[in-house]
Chain A
Amino acid sequence: DTGVSQNPRHKITKRGQNVTFRCDPISEHNRLYWYRQTLGQGPEFLTYFQNEAQLEKSRLLSDRFSAERPKGSFSTLEIQRTEQGDSAMYLCASSLTGVETQYFGPGTRLLVL
């Protein structure tokens, strides 16, 4: 069990640029979740996958956000035309069907200038 990994750990970008984050879940986990956390707040759900199927998306996930999990393993989260309000920590978590515990990665901290 190598844990959930996320890359990059930090990203600084200019407003209007596109960014992409990667999440590698625990290898046998078939569910993968994306959350966003701003300073002083708890994480907020964005979307989740079971295998390669995206089963739910939050209202927080605007049209500028897209997530994929093409082969049911790693996932990417892309933000197009970034805005300053997108600055946050983006967290990925994974779990196994039938087990409630979600395991979180260290997060990718995004700063939009």
Chain B
Amino acid sequence: GDSVTQMEGPVTLSEEAFLTINCTYTATGYPSLFWYVQYPGEGLQLLLKATKADDKGSNKGFEATYRKETTSFHLEKGSVQVSDSAVYFCALTPWRYGGSQGNLIFGKGTKLSVKP
């Protein structure tokens, strides 16, 4: 079945460092891809998404590009802030739903801590 694999955490960075969180997926067809973020004490929030190959999702300085050839959707940010400390989840909706509206399949999450 479809699945998502993301890099193990925790990841600890200094403020203004470059961030990459790797995410790869296994799926048939053309799933839609998402990054969700969970800040301490808060619910899951959509960070960015991409619905077709080569699309780039971006929000709050974060970016991720849908790479079908490598089945990847790595999250990047050029300069992290202390306020970016959170758990980041990569997710997909399976193609059998037409790439939308179906259930989300999540990775295990990567905890990011940014030190001042």
Contacts and interface: CB of A to CB of B under 8 A. Distances in A.
B109 A41 contact: yes
B109 A42 contact: yes
Interface in A31-57: 31, 33, 35, 40-45, 48, 56
Contacts of A104: 36, 43-45
B82 interface: no
Given A43-B104, A43-B106, A56-B103, A100 B45 contact: no
B17 interface: no
Contacts of A100: 32, 49, 51, 93, 100-101
Interface size class of B (residues with CB under 8 A): 20 to 34
Contact of A102 (B4, B51, B104): B104
A42 B91 contact: yes
In the complex, which of the residues A35, A58, A100 has the most CB atoms of chain B within 10 Å of its own CB atom? A100
Interface string B35-57: 01000001111100101000000
A41 B91 CA distance: 12
A43 B44 CA distance: 10
A106 interface: yes
